[in-house]
Amino acid sequence: MVKQASEQGLKWYQDVRFGMFIHWGPSAVPARHDWIMAAESISVPDYEQYTRQFNPTKFNADEWVSVAADAGQKYIVFTSRHHDGFSMYDTALSDYKITNTAFGRDPARELADACARRGDIKLGFYNSLLDWHHPAYRFREESGLAWSDYLEFLHGQVRELCTNFGEIACMWFDGHWPNHQFDEEHQYFMAGGSFEYEKLYNMIHTLQPDATVLNNHHAQPQPGEDVQGFEQDLPGMNTTGWQNLEISSLALEVCMTINDHWFYIRGSDNHKSLRSLVHYLARAASAGANYLLNVGPNEEGVINPIHVARLQGIGAWLQANGESIYGTRAGVIEPTASAVSTRNGDTHYVHLLDYISDSVTLAGVPDSVNAAHLLVSGDAVPMERTDKGVVITVPAAQRDPLNTVVVLS
Ligand code: GLC
**How many Cβ atoms from other residues are within 10 Å of residue 101's Cβ?**
17
Separation CA 191–CA 179 (nearest Å): 12
Which atom from ligand 1 is nearest to the alpha carbon of 255?
12
Pocket test for ligand 1, best of 24, 27, 34 (most atoms within 8 A of CB): 34
| Ligand 1 atom 12 nearest Cα | 231
User: Where does CATH 3.20.20.80 sit in the chain?
Assistant: 7-327
Q: Is the pLDDT of residue 193 over 70?
A: no
Residue 238: pLDDT band by 50, 70, 90 thresholds? confident
- Work out whether strand 18-22 and strand 75-81 pair parallel, antiparallel, or are unpaired: parallel
Separation CA 145–CA 136 (nearest Å): 5
User: Where does CATH 2.60.40.1180 sit in the chain?
Assistant: 331-408
DSSP assignment letter at 280: H
Please compute the mean of the pLDDT values over residues 391-406 and round it to a whole number: 96
Express each pLDDT in 220-229 by its tens digit: 899 999 999 9
Does the CB atom of residue 255 touch ligand 1 within 6 A? yes
pLDDT reported for residue 4: 97
Q: Domain 331-408: what homologous superfamily?
A: Golgi alpha-mannosidase II (2.60.40.1180)
Which atom from ligand 1 is nearest to the alpha carbon of 128?
10
* Average pLDDT across the chain, whole number: 94
pLDDT, greater one: 74 or 178: 74
Rg (C-alpha) for the chain, rounded Å, is: 22
**Segment among 91-95, 104-108, 183-187 with least mean pLDDT:** 183-187
The size of the chain, in residues, is: 409
pLDDT reported for residue 192: 57
pLDDT reported for residue 212: 98
Q: Is the pLDDT of residue 390 over 70?
A: yes
pLDDT reported for residue 191: 60
Whether 125 and 171 have beta carbons less than 8 Å apart is answered as: yes
Q: Domain 7-327: what homologous superfamily?
A: Glycosidases (3.20.20.80)
Express each pLDDT in 10-47 by its tens digit: 999 999 999 999 999 999 999 999 999 988 989 999 99
Please compute the mean of the pLDDT values over residues 276-305 and round it to a whole number: 98
